[in-house]
Chains A and B, each alone.
Chain A
Amino acid sequence: MRPKRARAPASHGFGFLDENAKREVRRALMKAVAIPGYQVPYASREMPIARGFGTGGLQITLSMLGENDTIKVIDQGSDESVNAANLRKFFTLVCPGVAGTTRTQDASIVQTRHRIPERPLRSDQILVLQVPYPDPLSFVEANGARRSEMHGSANYARLWTKLYEDMVTFHEIAISHRYPARIAGHYVIDPSPIPRWDVPKLNMAACLYLFGAGREKRIYAVPPYTSAEPLSFSDVPFRVEDFKDARGERHRCARCGSAGTFLDELLSPDGSRTFQCSDTDYCSQILEAKPCKGS
């Protein structure tokens, strides 16, 4: 047991979950790392937020947090949305000694929903993704037992058939987020609703990616330096969003001017459109680094 200096609220111990629950989650995490991409079942606990609001990520993070950790929480790229701000506050409340941050490079653990930070994570950092639907095969096979068998024998022809149907209907693969990716040449995972832009970041990354689905009670992982290939055809390569306008020029962030980030499109009441970095921390840091105008 770790020595406790700061005191946790009286109603529960450090990290909200009891030690046995945390141990069970950590055991599932070890198995998930040992078998990259395999969905490990675990006993998802009741949490003080509703299932489907990030309880999977929450349990993983709580099981790993120690007193010297620094936690960052992102929701759709933003640190300040209600979900992100409240989860960050919750972590610092139930884990005395843990500091909250918005700066990606200062965090030891980043919990996220829908985005992977633009700044590449280091080998001493862990990214925890909240997952609504862990099984990519649920699109194409309703029977869970048969899905496990398909995963076991790496039988993903039906997923590829879906891509084929997209090509026939739309002349391109029409999956905007949750793009299935094959991990270490065997299991195909649903990388949670990250945009296509973020999928290549899973491949051969320095950091550890952990995925938690609280409602579906599954944990899986992409360990560091593990291959993650988005499914595609040999003659129809996977591609990410290009953010080009009608003239073929790439949109820039209206705030920091970056032209190499994932952009959110903002509609103003007068009907005009602007684009802005989805990763607000990255955007702000670029802005801070710029020399101040007019002074």
Chain B
Amino acid sequence: MQRVLEVSGLSRIYGRGCARCAGETGPAFERNVCPACGSVVAVHDVSFHLLPGEILGIMGESGSGKSTIVKLLNFDETAGGGQARFFDGERTWDLFGLNSAERRWLRDNRMGTVYQNPHLGLNLDISAGGNIAERLLMNNVLSYREIRERAVQLLARTQVPADRMDEHPRRFSGGMQQRVQIARALVTNPPLLLLDEVTSGLDVSVQARILDLILELQEVLKISMIAVTHDLGVIRLLASRTIVMRYGRVVEAGLTDQILEDPQHAYTQELVAAAL
């Protein structure tokens, strides 16, 4: 079947690294700090793929390496090893073999990222509309009227009241900031969306509305997404397939229902039991 993203052997080590790093860390040793050199093995030998229109969940506790994966795919950090191929229509991009101009173009045009903290994804000193405009301006849309129209459309789609589009997002509630972030990410119609803990830190009713919005976007726009979260509820609701990470390794991967109903790995069992 056709794929949107194919990641294989992805690795990232913080520190100088040594020959023993890979062999002496991971779930079997219950650590991700190398005993020999003290480097942190954030992600090691992670492989997965993403199908068109699918939401893939990446689940794990703090420090399991799930956010590092998003940072690597989003070019916020440089991968230490492995390959990631992004299939965008006719073109195939080898994500870790690009120059900085190509990386920037892909990130500004063909990918969207929604961060847990709106400070990272939004410029809070310019209006909500301005945040959306910026992404269009990066893509050389230079008609003021067109920019306004697109911003109104996107904010309506993400349920931000149109009469607040010229206000600074600093004055918005957390949920609304998140919706502006999603609008900004979507404005270039990217085929790939990276969601990094989008609902963490929001109250439950707001969480539910954001999750509804994400599902609706998937339904209508057929965007492929990677949702990183530590929240089983989010995984259950959004993801059709899930990978479970611990100490930088994938410990279990498969259909979400299967993982939640019949967890195989001891850590997943613990996680599911704790949530229920």
In this complex, what residue of A is CB-closest to B126? Answer: A165
What's the minimum C-beta distance from B147 to chain A, rounded to whole angstroms?
Answer: 7
User: Does the CB pair A155–B129 fall under 8 Å?
Assistant: no
Q: Which of A52-60, A232-240, A266-274 contacts B (4 or more CB under 8 A)?
A: A232-240
User: Does the CB pair B126–A236 fall under 8 Å?
Assistant: no
Flag B86-108 by CB within 8 Å of A: 1 or 0 each: 00000000000000110010000
Flag B135-170 by CB within 8 Å of A: 1 or 0 each: 101100011110100000000000000000010000
Q: How far is the CA of A233 from the CA of B138 in the complex (A)?
A: 13
Q: How far is the CA of A153 from the CA of B103 in the complex (A)?
A: 11
User: Does the CB pair B143–A161 fall under 8 Å?
Assistant: no
User: Does the CB pair A157–B138 fall under 8 Å?
Assistant: yes
Residues of B contacting A168 in the complex (Cβ-Cβ under 8 angstroms):
127, 129-130, 166
User: Does the CB pair A236–B144 fall under 8 Å?
Assistant: yes
What's the minimum C-beta distance from A292 to chain B, rounded to whole angstroms?
Answer: 52
Q: With an 8 A cutoff between CB atoms, is A275 at the interface?
A: no
Q: With an 8 A cutoff between CB atoms, is B24 at the interface?
A: no
Residues of B contacting A7 in the complex (Cβ-Cβ under 8 angstroms):
none
Most buried by B among A155, A164, A169: A164
Q: How far is the CA of A78 from the CA of B9 in the complex (A)?
A: 69
Q: With an 8 A cutoff between CB atoms, is A4 at the interface?
A: no
User: Does the CB pair B143–A235 fall under 8 Å?
Assistant: yes
In this complex, what residue of A is CB-closest to B168? Answer: A165
User: Does the CB pair B142–A164 fall under 8 Å?
Assistant: no
User: Does the CB pair A155–B134 fall under 8 Å?
Assistant: no
User: Does the CB pair B137–A160 fall under 8 Å?
Assistant: yes
Q: With an 8 A cutoff between CB atoms, is A122 at the interface?
A: no
What's the minimum C-beta distance from B121 to chain A, rounded to whole angstroms?
Answer: 15
What's the minimum C-beta distance from B46 to chain A, rounded to whole angstroms?
Answer: 29
Residues of A contacting B130 in the complex (Cβ-Cβ under 8 angstroms):
161, 164-165, 168
In this complex, what residue of B is CB-closest to A167? Answer: B144
Contact of A153 among B100, B133, B144, B147 (CB under 8 A): B100
User: Does the CB pair A165–B127 fall under 8 Å?
Assistant: yes
Residues of B contacting A235 in the complex (Cβ-Cβ under 8 angstroms):
143-145
What's the minimum C-beta distance from A147 to chain B, rounded to whole angstroms?
Answer: 15
User: Does the CB pair A157–B143 fall under 8 Å?
Assistant: no
Q: How far is the CA of A155 from the CA of B135 in the complex (A)?
A: 11
What's the minimum C-beta distance from B136 to chain A, rounded to whole angstroms?
Answer: 8
Main secondary structure of the interface of B (DSSP, over half): helix
Residues of A contacting B138 in the complex (Cβ-Cβ under 8 angstroms):
155, 157
User: Does the CB pair A233–B101 fall under 8 Å?
Assistant: no
Most buried by A among B101, B130, B145: B130
Q: With an 8 A cutoff between CB atoms, is A158 at the interface?
A: yes
Residues of A contacting B144 in the complex (Cβ-Cβ under 8 angstroms):
164, 167, 233-236
User: Does the CB pair A164–B104 fall under 8 Å?
Assistant: no
User: Does the CB pair A164–B133 fall under 8 Å?
Assistant: yes
User: Does the CB pair B166–A234 fall under 8 Å?
Assistant: no
User: Does the CB pair A161–B100 fall under 8 Å?
Assistant: no
User: Does the CB pair A233–B104 fall under 8 Å?
Assistant: no
Q: How far is the CA of A157 from the CA of B144 in the complex (A)?
A: 13
What's the minimum C-beta distance from B109 to chain A, rounded to whole angstroms?
Answer: 12
In this complex, what residue of A is CB-closest to B131? Answer: A161
Flag A148-165 by CB within 8 Å of B: 1 or 0 each: 010001010110111011
In A34-88, which residues have CB < 8 Å from any B CB?
none
User: Does the CB pair B143–A234 fall under 8 Å?
Assistant: yes
What's the minimum C-beta distance from A235 to chain B, rounded to whole angstroms?
Answer: 5
Residues of B contacting A169 in the complex (Cβ-Cβ under 8 angstroms):
166
What's the minimum C-beta distance from A166 to chain B, rounded to whole angstroms?
Answer: 10
**Contacts A234-B143, A235-B145, A236-B144 hold; do A161 and B137 have CB atoms under 8 A apart?**
yes
In B7-37, which residues have CB < 8 Å from any A CB?
none
Residues of B contacting A155 in the complex (Cβ-Cβ under 8 angstroms):
104, 138
Q: How far is the CA of A160 from the CA of B132 in the complex (A)?
A: 12
Most buried by B among A157, A161, A169, A235: A161
User: Does the CB pair B143–A153 fall under 8 Å?
Assistant: no
Flag A125-163 by CB within 8 Å of B: 1 or 0 each: 000000000000000000000000100010101101110
User: Does the CB pair B134–A161 fall under 8 Å?
Assistant: yes
In B28-74, which residues have CB < 8 Å from any A CB?
none
In this complex, what residue of A is CB-closest to B108? Answer: A157
Q: How far is the CA of A233 from the CA of B141 in the complex (A)?
A: 9
What's the minimum C-beta distance from A202 to chain B, rounded to whole angstroms?
Answer: 20
Chain B interface (Cβ < 8 Å from any Cβ of A): 100-101, 104, 123, 126-127, 129-130, 133-135, 137-138, 142-145, 147, 166
Q: A164-B137, A233-B143 are in contact. List 20 more A-B contacts (CB 8 A).
A: A149-B100, A153-B100, A157-B135, A157-B138, A160-B137, A161-B123, A161-B126, A162-B126, A164-B129, A164-B133, A164-B134, A164-B144, A165-B126, A168-B166, A169-B166, A233-B142, A233-B147, A235-B143, A235-B144, A236-B144
7 example contacts (A-B, Cβ-Cβ < 8 A) are as follows: A153-B100, A160-B133, A160-B142, A164-B134, A164-B137, A164-B147, A235-B143
Closest 10 CB pairs of A and B: A233-B144, A157-B138, A157-B137, A160-B137, A161-B134, A164-B133, A234-B143, A234-B142, A168-B166, A236-B144
